[in-house]
Chain A
């Protein structure tokens, strides 16, 4: 290495150091350069199509179980039974967001668009059980029992109607059958179910309004279904 290269090295070191120092000095004295977001107090704006926690609007859900089939990590579990009108009734719909990988396939596949990504992303818990979102607040066994009862009642009503039709002349029969059906309906509406318990914390946490809806809706939906 010649003397020229040697001196060039020294000059280059000094010049580049000075350059770097000037840049950091500019950042150091300029308070507007701070980009830190004080997270719990301030938050980022969530992008429009952000894939947060999943939420299923069970008023719309038709229990088709497409989401369950498509989920690559099996984080959705769904159980349904056949209701009085032969349509499936949701018994339980759970999403394990601890397992969910937010791929969005279930949302894409949902035929009635009841399953959606919300903007929620904050969920810390000391218990993995808390990471399972229950979208039906009632106990599965209770729902099953209720639906079974309704099915049985509907069957009984149908039988009674049939019997009445058989025993009475045709002109009265229609009148009677309608009365029987009415009775059956009232029976069903008088909730044998008991008021569903308040929405579980998870559901409320996710979206309090939707959480309440999950409590109120299943009953009315089922009552409507029960109308002959």
Chain B
């Protein structure tokens, strides 16, 4: 951010009058605002698309009353959420009850900071990007547990407990499934990981096709991440049919809205991370976007990245309306007996592959055969 501020001051000397830290702070606020607007828009439109996809898959129509074909439904929902009364149960722990939604929302929103939207479009290219995402999304557990506990409601508490158990369990396979991408790129920075997937191989430069183990680890990551972010079929903390709505059952109005936004934010984060780590991120196949002039390169790579990420979001919705919810013991068995060993085997496999073939993937080896 500071580097950007320096270049901005250089480009526009009028800004030089202001102290550098002020310009930097302003830039930070501006980028945070842009990302927030993006996140809110995604969450709004996402909820509409989710319901439309649900309608299609379940052989019905979906929302079609508000605006042409129901496209304004999300605005109506948003207005409704904001205007509804914010009820705090009499027996609830008021302070924690009010605090919990912010933890959940911040935990999901803060992960947007390291999402590589384009060649230079990243709020902060942390050199520990993946580690940061893993760490900050854990904040969601705290919020969910707080919400469940402070509501003073048995269903909410059960939901919160389930969420804690589930998120903690699935963080291991998520981390292990992401590590192959880190190993291949040799860096924890998401931008470095994306850059390592470029080149002349097109889509075969992606980590997905690097070697058999990284191919599997994409699917392992995608599955485990859905579980970690409590998406259906792993939505046990919410489980409408058994826990009413789980940890957020006592929430109403905008506080409920924050939980809702966090859910969609998580959805995008999972899609964005799987895109960045396995599907080439913003890399345009057979084209070097970074070589274009800054504006066009960024726009092109942003478009490509969003196209890939939204496709992944659609796949998540597709999964969501297909698979029935697991039982708690099934969920835990899946994590500890299947996901964790498999991801470890995968990690081992990728490490050995990189050691044996000196970091070359199958497509690269085939390409070198033909010169």
Which residues of A are in contact with B by a Cβ distance under 8 Å?
A: 9-10, 13, 17, 20-21, 23-25, 27-29, 31, 33-36, 38
Q: Please pick, from A24, A31, A35, A38, the residue contacting B318 in the complex, using a CB distance under 8 A.
A: A24
B321 touches A (CB below 8 Å): yes
B292 touches A (CB below 8 Å): no
Structural contact, A25 and B59, CB atoms closer than 8 A:
no
B106 to chain A, nearest CB (A): 33
B25 touches A (CB below 8 Å): no
Structural contact, B318 and A21, CB atoms closer than 8 A:
yes
User: How many A-B contacts are there with CB distance less than 8 Å?
Assistant: 38
A133 to chain B, nearest CB (A): 33
Distance of A17 Cα from B233 Cα, bound (Å): 11
Closest to A33 in B: B59
B141 to chain A, nearest CB (A): 26
Structural contact, A27 and B58, CB atoms closer than 8 A:
yes
Taking A9-B338, A28-B53 as contacts, is the C-beta distance between A35 and B322 under 8 angstroms? Answer: no
Distance of A29 Cα from B318 Cα, bound (Å): 11
Structural contact, A35 and B60, CB atoms closer than 8 A:
yes
Distance of A47 Cα from B365 Cα, bound (Å): 70
Structural contact, A34 and B338, CB atoms closer than 8 A:
no
Closest to A23 in B: B322
B56 touches A (CB below 8 Å): yes
Q: Please pick, from A10, A21, A23, A29, the residue contacting B319 in the complex, using a CB distance under 8 A.
A: A21
B57 touches A (CB below 8 Å): yes
Q: Please pick, from B55, B321, B338, the residue contacting A24 in the complex, using a CB distance under 8 A.
A: B321
Enumerate B36-70 residues with CB–CB distance to A below 8 Å.
Answer: 53, 55-61
Interchain Cβ contacts under 8 Å between A and B, 26 examples? A9-B338, A10-B342, A13-B338, A17-B322, A17-B323, A20-B322, A21-B318, A21-B319, A24-B57, A24-B318, A24-B321, A24-B322, A25-B318, A27-B56, A27-B57, A27-B59, A28-B53, A28-B56, A28-B57, A28-B318, A34-B59, A34-B60, A35-B59, A36-B60, A36-B61, A38-B61
Chain B residues with CB under 8 Å of A27's CB are: 56-59
Distance of A9 Cα from B333 Cα, bound (Å): 12
Query: C-beta contact mask, B330-344 vs A, less than 8 Å → 1, else 0?
Result: 000000001000100
Please report whether the interface of chain A is mostly helix, strand, loop or mixed according to DSSP. Answer: helix
Chain A residues with CB under 8 Å of B60's CB are: 34-36
Closest to B333 in A: A9
Distance of A21 Cα from B318 Cα, bound (Å): 7
Structural contact, B57 and A10, CB atoms closer than 8 A:
no
Closest to B341 in A: A6
Q: Please pick, from B58, B322, B338, the residue contacting A10 in the complex, using a CB distance under 8 A.
A: B338
Chain A residues with CB under 8 Å of B56's CB are: 27-29, 31, 34
Enumerate B288-323 residues with CB–CB distance to A below 8 Å.
Answer: 318-319, 321-323
Distance of A17 Cα from B226 Cα, bound (Å): 15
Distance of A35 Cα from B59 Cα, bound (Å): 6
Structural contact, A20 and B323, CB atoms closer than 8 A:
yes
Distance of A20 Cα from B323 Cα, bound (Å): 7
Which 8 residue pairs are nearest across A and B when measured between Cβ atoms? Answer: A24-B322, A33-B59, A36-B60, A28-B57, A28-B56, A36-B61, A24-B57, A20-B322
A171 to chain B, nearest CB (A): 85
Chain A residues with CB under 8 Å of B57's CB are: 24, 27-28
Chain A residues with CB under 8 Å of B58's CB are: 27
Chain B residues with CB under 8 Å of A25's CB are: 318
B127 to chain A, nearest CB (A): 36
Distance of A28 Cα from B314 Cα, bound (Å): 11
Distance of A38 Cα from B319 Cα, bound (Å): 27
Distance of A20 Cα from B58 Cα, bound (Å): 13
A53 to chain B, nearest CB (A): 29
Distance of A10 Cα from B216 Cα, bound (Å): 13
Chain A residues with CB under 8 Å of B322's CB are: 17, 20-21, 23-24
Chain B residues with CB under 8 Å of A35's CB are: 59-60
Structural contact, A34 and B61, CB atoms closer than 8 A:
yes
